Amino acid sequence: MKLKEFLKDKRVLLLIVLVIASIGAISVLGIQQGLDLKGGSTIQIQLEKPVDTATMNTVTAVLDKRLNIFGVKDVKVYPSGNQNVIVEIAGVQPEDVAKIVGSNGKFEAKINNQTALVGSDITQVKTYQVTGTQWQVPFTVSLDGSNRFAQVAKGQAGVPVEMYLDDELITSPELAEELANGNPSTDVMISGGAATKEEAQTEAKSVQTLLQSGALPVKVKIVGVSSVSADLGDQFINGALIAGLLALVVIAAIIILRYRTPILVVPIIITSIAELILVLGAAAVIHWNIDLAAIAGIIAAIGTGVDDQIIITDEVLKGFSEKKGKRRRLAGVRSQIKGAFFIIFAAAGTLIAAMLPLAYIGFSRGATGIGVLSGFAFTTVLGVLIGIFITRPVYAKFIEMILDK
């Protein structure tokens, strides 16, 4: 088989296209680094009581919505058991978002201790406004809410409208004359002040976020906060690069000693690099965080790939030594490749079967330790699937080419 024919093979063309596409995805979308590489915060939230799955899903959805509204990127919110929620935020310090995730978000407006508005009456929250150290968050309420407010406010001109957020008094403006005549109005505003303009912006943004995301179905409190420095990630990345280079040298030496020919070193190394690019490209497309567990999964998948390539090489060389003549030899090569792939698929199936339960438990339960291992399991399975369906067949085609004299 000539080199041109090899490059025209559909499996080789597919690999080339996917590698180029992966490099493009990595360049454009970037690689999302996990908490342990990029640095950030881990916040543990405890619910006031154990809840069912539906309530827990509501809690995690509201918290995730709050953080997205607040402008936090690279956030993971997942349950830990039936009474705790873990929030992982890369690149953000805990004090910046602790109030957001630790607040119940219950809004209530009272006039003379009578409830005039509640959070469920809010239909739209508008952009906050900051003037100096004073801030305002305007919002609109439903028709039912405005009618209730008008009834409670009728004849109460000059009486404070006490606005509470999580039972904490935020502001208490006096009721204007035009709002005390019994005519409903859907436009409401909550306001306040701070010591500095920056604090006023932060407070206004927090209030807007809480009003916009709605209240949690149960009370929550923060029971643990920890920060992870990005220095650990930098040290690990540098160490991983050095370890990777050393691994390539060791693999090359072992292959040369085993097969007595350097020609097999290059395709095995190139195949391993291609697998790495494809895994990172897939991670960039699906926005999968690359953390320490994911890196361990990538290493495991590439190690499995090297093992598979050695199996293919051993099976092919064994068939080559037993066959003579060009046609008989080529048929033997293809037969040995099929035998090698039977072993590879069986081993891959066993590995995937072992990893899937771990990934499922981690994603569904969200326990801290198991959640980390689920990242390892997912990345390992992804790497193995890429290997057996994309890169291994190309390597087998290369082996067939070099033995076809």
Q: What is the mean pLDDT of residues 279-287?
A: 87
The share of the chain scoring above pLDDT 90, in percent, equals: 3
Range ranked top by mean pLDDT from 111-125, 172-186, 202-216: 111-125
Sign of the CA dihedral running 152, 158, 162, 163: positive
Tens digits of per-residue pLDDT, 45-94?
888 888 888 888 888 888 888 777 777 666 778 888 888 888 887 766 66
Average pLDDT over residues 279-299: 83
Q: What domains, with CATH codes, occur in the chain? A: 3-35+229-403 (1.20.1640.10), 40-90 (no CATH), 105-215 (3.30.1360.200)
Per-residue confidence (pLDDT) for residue 191, from 0 to 100: 78
State the pLDDT confidence band at 20, using cuts at 50, 70 and 90: very high
Residue 161, SS3 per DSSP: strand
Long-range pairs, 163-171, Cβ under 8 A, ≥24 = 163/107, 163/108, 163/109, 163/190, 164/106, 164/107, 164/108, 164/109, 164/110, 165/103, 165/105, 165/106, 165/107, 165/207, 165/210, 166/103, 166/104, 166/105, 166/106, 167/106, 167/108, 170/207
Query: Would you say residue 180 has pLDDT above 80?
Result: no
Max mean pLDDT among 99-108, 248-257, 339-348 falls in: 339-348
Mean pLDDT of the residues in the chain: 79
Check if the beta carbon of residue 354 is closer than 8 Å to that of residue 378: no
* 49 neighbors 217 (Cβ within 8 angstroms): no
Cα torsion angle, 248, 249, 252, 258, sign: negative
Q: Is 87 helix (H, G, I), strand (E, B) or coil?
A: strand
If pLDDT is split at 50, 70 and 90, which confidence band does 18 have? very high
DSSP character for 71?
Answer: T
Determine the pLDDT at residue 368. 43
pLDDT for the residue numbered 322: 47
pLDDT, tens only, 328-371: 455 566 777 888 888 888 888 888 888 877 766 655 544 444 45
pLDDT digits (tens, 9 = 90+) for 114-133: 888 888 888 888 888 888 88
Query: pLDDT category, 17, cuts 50, 70, 90?
Result: very high
Percent of the chain residues topping a pLDDT of 70:
85
Total-model pTM: 0.62
pLDDT at 234 over 70: no
Which region among 90-99, 212-221, 286-295, 319-328 has the lowest average model confidence (pLDDT)? 319-328
